[in-house]
Structure 1
Amino acid sequence: MVKSTLHSASLYSKKATESEFLKIENLMKAYPTPDGGAFVVLDNVSLDVQEDEFVSLIGHSGCGKSTLLKIVAGLERATSGLVTLEGKEIRKPGCDRMMVFQHYSLLPWLTVRENVRLAVDEVLEGLSSSEKARIVNEHLAMVNLTAAANKYPDEISGGMKQRVGIARALAIRPKMLLMDEPFGALDALTRGKLQKQVLDIWESHRQAVMMVTHDVDEAIYMSDRIVMMTNGPSAQIGEILEVPFSRPRDRQQLRESPEYYDLRNHALSFLDHYFNSDEE
């Protein structure tokens, strides 16, 4: 039996009541239309994320997943509602939240090491040069890029570029990591390896993670909870699934578990329902 938590006035799980880290309350996001009206992307979205929790957002294209992520990042403002991190309202980007995009966003004229060092210099400016170098080297080693440290972005693969982005995000020690389909541009083999690598890093340096994905298997493998969005416009949280598997996770063992397929089928049925309702 799949354990799901429906979107309701009660909090989504016992874990979510323990403390407040990221809190999204009654969030609504709308854009003005040429006729003077409003196009509502997200409507009445409420969610809590704990300080060491890995949460995935999943839903069909246009349901506002990336918009929600950008609001948490401070790249966009909500039309109404409140988003707070440790009790402080999020109004703009900050180094306590770092974003990893699907497309790598590396500066092509800087080496791998320099791309990571740029972020460290900007945020951890009070540290000595030797301490900054130590942090950069530590995070390059974390993502297995020490040997490629002096290469330029056009000299490395897509998977390596994404690892640079992850190292850069983690090197400034954010409280929360935001990932917008971070593996979406990768081939299947590279994608699987990088998923495991990110999980290994997260296991040793726990922090809050919110990840947008279209991949149900990826969400189950990586997440503590899966937030499933209804279709837009006026998208809402339709259902939240708690992923019951212990960590660290072994992908092969998961796929041998009947519970894995119950959870997977439940998520796919939810998505199929909204896909089919779109066609009607």
Structure 2
Amino acid sequence: MKSTTHTNNLHESHFNHQNFLEISNLSKSYRNKDGDEFIVLDNVNLTIGENEFVTLVGHSGCGKSTLLKIVAGLEKVTSGLVQLDGKEIRKPGAERMMVFQHYSLLPWLTVRENIRLAVDEVLKNANRSEKISIVNEHLAMVNLTPAADKYPDEISGGMKQRVGIARALAIRPKMLLMDEPFGALDALTRGKLQRQVLDIWENNRQAVMMITHDVDEAIYMSDRIVLMTNGPAATIGEILEVPFSHPRDRGAMRNSKEYYELRNYALNFLEENFSSGD
């Protein structure tokens, strides 16, 4: 299947998509127990700038998480090439940090200790004072200083996710990868955490690739939205530019004509690409 990546002409952007992350002719397939090939991703091509926030949107089974894991180095490509800052990605690395939907915190460590563990593991050349400063800085960044000495079972789901985000950012990665980071949260907490993550990113910009099923979330947070076709043999169907500058005002966006044009375009694409077998 040939990639059919397009840009919606209604949403042309001035954003410079420099090739910080470059995915070229990527395909991923598996062999089933009978030896037959099952193609998950087919001929995926995408570049992301070093300060760009990109979301992947598509139905379940379209290979979004597989693509994210390939960028993280947790999965290998069958063919094609993935490069970050000019270097081929072949395995996990501290320059790429992953935030999952489920918090993955160590329950016997406090909030502070969960973050410090990552700092100790990656920033080995930093001295004790520097490590304490980094942990405190990132606790404050996600508004968790008052909860620093609490254990995971003593804090809410939204707070746990903030710990995961702080832990990922504390080791100073070049790229943040997020797999439905707000998916397990209630609507009110989800909205608040979206704003907090966007505040952090707007003040400390880096490359972000995030998976979401929520078109409104994608429009609110990202510079571009990558719409995936259905699997198997999924690929990029369209790439939509989000025409709103940062920082963003959610209320003002939702009252704009451009917001509803973009939202309807994305939803129509997803509806057209829906299949009951997904």
Structure 1 and Structure 2 fold alike (TM over 0.5): yes
Structure 1 residue 16, shift from structure 2 partner: 4.9
Instruction: Provide the alpha-carbon RMSD of the alignment.
Output: 1.6
Instruction: Note if contact 1:16-1:48 (Cα within 8 Å) is conserved in structure 2.
Output: no
CA positional deviation for 1:15: 4.2
The SS at the match of 2:109 is coil
Corresponding residue pairs, total: 271
Counterpart residue number, 1:126: 125
TM-superposed CA distance for 1:20, in Å, is 1.9
Partner of 1:170: 169
Other structure's SS at 1:26 match: strand
Structure 2 residue aligned with 1:87: 86
Would the alpha carbon gap of residues 244 and 47 (structure 1) be closer, same or farther in structure 2, given more than 3 Å must change? same
List structure 1 runs of 4+ shifted beyond 6 angstroms: none
What secondary structure sits across from 1:174 in the alignment?
Answer: coil
Q: What residue is the counterpart of 2:22 in the other structure?
A: 23
What is the SS of the residue equivalent to 1:160?
helix
Matches within 5 A, 1:129-140: 129-140=128-139
Aligned pair 1:56/2:55, yes or no?
A: yes
How far apart, in 1, do the equivalents of 2:31 and 2:248 lie? 45
2:5 to 7, 26, 29: 7
Q: Which residue of 2 aligns with 1:3?
A: none
Output aligned runs, 1:247-262, within 5 Å. Answer: 247-262=246-261
For 2:35 and 2:76, how far apart are their aligned partners in 1? 19
Looking at structure 2, the residues matched to 65 and 279 of structure 1 have their Cα atoms a distance apart, in angstroms, of 17
> Are the equivalent residues in 2 in contact too, given 1:227–1:241 (CA < 8 A)?
yes
Q: For 1:78, give the aligned amino acid.
A: V
Aligned counterpart, 2:199:
200
Corresponding residue SS for 2:117: helix
> CA offsets per residue over residues 143-181 of structure 1, 9 Å max, x none?
000000000000000000000000000000000000000
Q: Residues 20-64 of structure 1, C-alpha deviation per residue, up to 9 Å, x if partnerless?
A: 210000000101111111111000000000000000000000000
3-state DSSP of counterpart to 1:252: helix
1:81-230 equivalent positions in 2, closer than 5 A: 81-230=80-229
Q: Tell me the amino acid that sits aligned with residue 25 of structure 1.
A: S
Query: Which one-letter code corresponds to 2:98 in the other structure?
Result: M
Aligned-pair CA distance for 1:274: 1.1
Provide closer, same or farther for how the CA distance between residues 134 and 279 of structure 1 changes in structure 2, counting only shifts above 3 A.
Answer: closer
Matches of 2:144 and 2:87 in 1, distance apart? 35
In structure 2, the partner of 1:75 is 74
* TM superposition shift of 1:198: 0.2
CA distance in 2, matches of 1:144, 1:200: 12
Q: Any idea what SS the aligned residue of 2:153 has?
A: helix
In the alignment, the residues of structure 1 paired with residue 189 and residue 221 of structure 2 have an alpha-carbon distance, to the nearest angstrom, of 16
SS in structure 1 at match of 2:273: helix
Instruction: Give 3-state SS (helix, strand or coil) of 2:208's partner.
Output: strand
Distance 2:266 2:216 in 1: 10
SS at match of 2:216: helix
Native 8 Å contact 2:13 2:242 kept in 1: no
Residue 192 of structure 2: SS of its match in structure 1? helix
How does the TM-score come out when normalised to structure 2? 0.95
Instruction: Determine helix, strand or coil for the equivalent of 1:232.
Output: coil
The structural deviation recorded for 1:90 is 0.1
Matched residue of 1:221: which SS?
helix
Q: Percent identity?
A: 76
CA distance in 1, matches of 2:208, 2:162: 16
Corresponding residue for residue 9 of structure 2: none
TM-aligned CA deviation for residue 103 of structure 1: 0.2
Corresponding position of 2:241 = 242
Deviation per residue, 1:68-105 (Å, 9 max, x gap): 00000001101110000011100000000000000000
- Contact 1:57–1:210 (8 Å) recurs in 2: yes
CA distance in 2, matches of 1:279, 1:134: 51
Q: Where in structure 1 are there 5+ consecutive unaligned residues?
A: 1-5
Contact 2:13 2:243 in 1 (8 A): no
Q: Which amino acid aligns with 1:135?
A: I
- Give the aligned residue type for 1:83: V
Q: Provide Cα deviations, 1:116-144, integer angstroms capped at 9, x if missing partner.
A: 00000000010110110000000000000
The question of whether the paired residues in 2 share the 8 Å contact of 1:16 and 1:49 is answered with no
